[in-house]
């Protein structure tokens, strides 16, 4: 089972990216989490250039389509998701890469309620399948925890493992339903 992790932050020291990388360390047997790295290379979305299918867009689409499920985490900027994340999502609307895709929406900050609500609304509009038990808020922001420390923190790692198991279960259920 292959999961793609998409962070809405381009910062090297991003809490959201650290959270997703920690989840990659915690992936259960038979599942792997790959970090999506191309969001900063995407051009700004413009319907006029959509037909030319810029290479970074094609690469992102291929990564999403080949993943069994997505893990998404975005910082909150000015009560919304980051421009980086919104730009990536806008590129994926027309190609329908998100349709019926199981998605875990991770929130690294209990304060970031607006971004999380917005993310939920956008991916729902894109017909993705939000996996509720895998969509959790964990208090990473302000904790000072590194990726390594998140992965061994007793309560947080247990919650992240449970989220990953829930995502695996949703993928398995979806596969069975399509047989």
How far apart (Å, rounded) are the C-alpha atoms in residues 39 and 42?
6
**Minimum CB–partner distance for residue 155 and ligand FMN (Å):** 20
Element (H, E) at 6: strand 2-7
Query: Whose Cβ is closer to ligand FMN: residue 56's or residue 80's?
Result: 80
Structure-token pair, residue 114: 């607006």
Residue 14: CB minimum distance to ligand FMN, A: 3
For residue 103, give both structure tokens: 């998605």
C-alpha–C-alpha distance, residues 23 and 32, integer Å: 9
Residue number of the CB atom closest to ligand FMN: 75
What gap in Å lies between CA 18 and CA 65, rounded to an integer? Answer: 24
From the CB of 8, what's the least distance to ligand FMN, in Å?
Answer: 7
Question: Given the complex with ligand FMN, which of 16 and 157 has the nearer CB atom?
Answer: 16
Nearer to ligand FMN, 1 or 14 (CB): 14
Applying CB under 6 A, the residues found at the interface with ligand FMN are: 9, 11, 14-16, 75-79, 109, 111-112, 141
- Minimum Å gap between C-beta 33 and ligand FMN is 17
Calpha distance 11→53 (Å, rounded): 26
Q: Are 12 and 21 in contact (CB under 8 A)?
A: no
Which residue lies nearer to ligand FMN by CB, 16 or 63? 16
């Amino acid at each position: 089972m292959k999961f793609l992790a998409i962070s809405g932050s381009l910062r090297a020291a991003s809490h959201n990216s650290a959270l997703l990388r920690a989840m990659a360390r915690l992936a259960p047997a038979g599942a792997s989490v790959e970090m999506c790295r191309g969001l900063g290379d995407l051009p700004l979305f413009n319907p006029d250039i959509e037909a030319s299918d810029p290479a970074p867009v094609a690469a992102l689409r291929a990564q999403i389509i080949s993943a069994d499920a997505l893990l998404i985490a975005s910082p909150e900027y000015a009560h919304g998701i980051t421009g980086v994340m919104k730009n990536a999502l806008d590129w994926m609307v027309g190609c329908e890469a998100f349709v019926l895709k199981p998605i875990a929406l991770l929130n690294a900050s209990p304060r970031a309620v607006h971004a999380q609500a917005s993310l939920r609304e956008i991916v729902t509009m894109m017909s993705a399948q939000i996996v509720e038990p895998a969509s959790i808020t964990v208090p990473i922001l302000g904790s000072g925890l590194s990726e390594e420390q998140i992965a061994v923190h007793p309560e947080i790692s247990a919650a992240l493992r449970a989220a990953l198991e829930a995502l695996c279960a949703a993928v398995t259920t979806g596969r069975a339903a399509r047989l």
